Amino acid sequence: MRQRRLVWALTGLLLLPASAHALQDDEADPRAATLSGGPLLAEQAAYDVQSYDLALRIDPRAKSITGSLKATVLTTKILEMLVLDLDARLQVASITLGSEPAAAEWERRGDRLWIALGREVSPGETIVATIEYGGEPRVAPNPPWSGGFTWAETPQGAPWVAVSCQLDGADLWWPCKDHPSDEPERMTMAITIPKPLVCAANGTLVKVVDAEENGWRTHHWRIDNPINNYCVSVNIAPYVSVKAKYRSIDGHEMPVEFWVLPSARGQAQRLMPQILKELRFFEEHVGPYPFRNEKYGIAHTPYLGMEHQTIISYGSSFEVNEFGFDWLHLHELAHEWWGNLVTNADYGDFWIHEGFGTYMEVLAAEHFKGPDAGRRYVARLRRGINNRAPIAYREAIAIRNVYFVPPKYVRSDNDVYNKAALVLHTLRFLVGEKVFAESLKRMTYPTPEHARATDGEQCRFVTTAEYRKIVEELSERELGWFFDLYLYQPKLPQLIEERTERELVLRWETPDALPFPMPVEVSVGNRKKRLDPAEDGTMRVAVPRRAEVEIDPWGWILRDLPRPQRRRR
């Protein structure tokens, strides 16, 4: 049973120099704040986070934060030092250990806190560490692509505050184990802000109480499901909320709430029916909304958007597009399944978050406007791929190295979105509609028990290998060649065409001669035929003279542009 505990919010914290108990660190090896994820430090691999309790005072005028973070962890290996991540620009006042706090010896090494446990802690023991800290957190220069706080103002001049940290890690604003492989079983947040501002956050709002400091109040939020560190979020503004009830496909009724600036209330009210339609679309295609024991929430933010669990950030136009959905809302909603329900254990498999999320847009276009709309959406995605780097990795990798192409890491690469979605589109053609549709449902909820769960048991870590296994079992075919070519190297296959007066001959040319037995659909006149490669790799079809020929007429296969056709006499 997971214990649930609310923490009280500090109304002030004296930020002192390093504690008298702090260890000296003359040879610190600073870690770049942008590297979230990657190979896991041995000391961090030796424990499993059970819970975080965050109490934070956020001052929009001073653009500062002050508070405490209590981490409860379970050791899995012998441990002498507890290591947590925290951005070096935030000051630490003290660190204590135990349920009855005792001052700990600790040191800073760049963006890490090394906390001496005072003894050799055996596997299976629980450690409780409380860090009191604060300062002026990083400002996000280009949210959400660069992490930190956004200190904005509403058109009326009121504070409008949001945080985003997907590419840089939650340690930009609170101490944590900054790695995707370890999610807390639960979390509480007590956020103290000036009246009359409202804090919209993850999970369930327990209560709002006046703080000890006049003119301030504390919003207590409780998260009862495992959560990615980067999906923990606070949104602060003079919000009003637009509310609705939604009955899930399993019969569970849950609240849906849209926190918006007062000037956008009407827009949110008009969009709410569409939001409910998009919820139903996802439930029908990939299973029940995962967090129906809490809520589905949307926060109006001063930046574009982010998939913060149960409180997605929304900064778009409140409009339904030509394909029948609000593109930003639908994409961020997709992450409640792809990213929040199922999470990559390492960012080498991050395409599962963004590629699957993006392909849901294709399926939505088909759902709301028909097959032709889906094909047009695929054509849009094709215009936004680069083929400069793999979209998946077999080794541990930092998330920025997935988004930004080496060696300079200065330009965002859309392939983890668009190309990954097109890979799924090609797979759908290869294995067929029924198998592909079932593979999506099996990936989100592998068993009926998972689909029924609402206590956190529905959440799990996933890998590319797991999805491959699911599709192979459902299709009864080996697909290593497919994943190897499309995911783990950047170049696309090229379809070579040769046409005589009576025959069309096709064969695949691949980077490094990788095997690629991909069938091809060909339209000859008014006949359509699916060609499978022969043992020599060729695909042949008889073509009458002057017959119109179209290769892959529905645009299923992700491939490089073909070479000019060569006629033989």
Q: Can you tell me the distance from the alpha carbon of 221 to that of 224, in angstroms, rounded to the nearest whole number? A: 10
Dihedral (CA of 93, 99, 103, 109) sign: negative
End-to-end CA distance of the chain, in Å? Answer: 77
In tens, the pLDDT along 523-546 reads: 998 889 999 999 999 999 999 888
Average pLDDT over residues 268-281: 98
pLDDT digits (tens, 9 = 90+) for 32-46: 444 788 999 999 999
Cis amide bond preceding 238, omega within 30 = no
Q: What percent of the chain has pLDDT over 70?
A: 91
> Maximum distance among all alpha carbons in the chain?
91
User: Which among 163, 166, 136 is positioned nearest to 303, based on CA atoms?
Assistant: 163
Q: Rounded to the nearest 5°, which phi and psi values hold at 254?
A: -135, 155
Closest CA to 364 of 328, 311, 391, 336: 328
- Tokens representing 350 are 């991050």
Going by C-alpha positions, the residue among 135, 127, 95 that lies closest to residue 113 is: 95
Tens-place pLDDT, residues 229-250 = 999 999 999 999 999 999 999 9
**CATH number, span 344-487:** 1.10.390.10
Confidence at residue 338, expressed as pLDDT on a 0 to 100 scale = 98
User: What is the C-alpha to C-alpha distance for residues 353 and 424, in angstroms, rounded to an integer?
Assistant: 13
Residue 505 backbone phi and psi in degrees, to 5: -115, 130
Asked whether the predicted pLDDT for residue 109 surpasses 60, the reply is yes
How confident is residue 456, by pLDDT bands cut at 50, 70 and 90? very high
Q: Which CATH number does 1-234 carry?
A: 2.60.40.1730
Q: Which of 60, 79, 68, 445 is nearest to 288 (CA)?
A: 445
Residue of 309, 297, 299, 318 whose CA lies nearest to 244: 297
pLDDT 10s digits, 291-345: 999 999 999 999 999 999 999 999 999 999 999 999 999 999 999 999 999 999 9
In the CATH hierarchy, which fold is given to the domain comprising 494-567? Immunoglobulin-like (2.60.40)
Asked if the model's pLDDT at residue 561 lies above 80, the reply is: no
- What is the tens place of the pLDDT at every residue in 136-170? 999 999 999 889 999 999 999 999 999 999 989 99
Q: Are 1-234 and 494-567 in the same CATH fold?
A: yes
> What are the extents of the domains in the chain?
1-234, 344-487, 494-567
Residue 12 has pLDDT above 70, yes or no: no
5-14, 83-92, 298-307: the lowest-pLDDT one: 5-14
Does residue 103 contact residue 129 with C-beta atoms inside 8 Å?
no
**Least confident segment among 119-123, 198-202, 499-503:** 499-503
Higher pLDDT, 403 or 194: 194
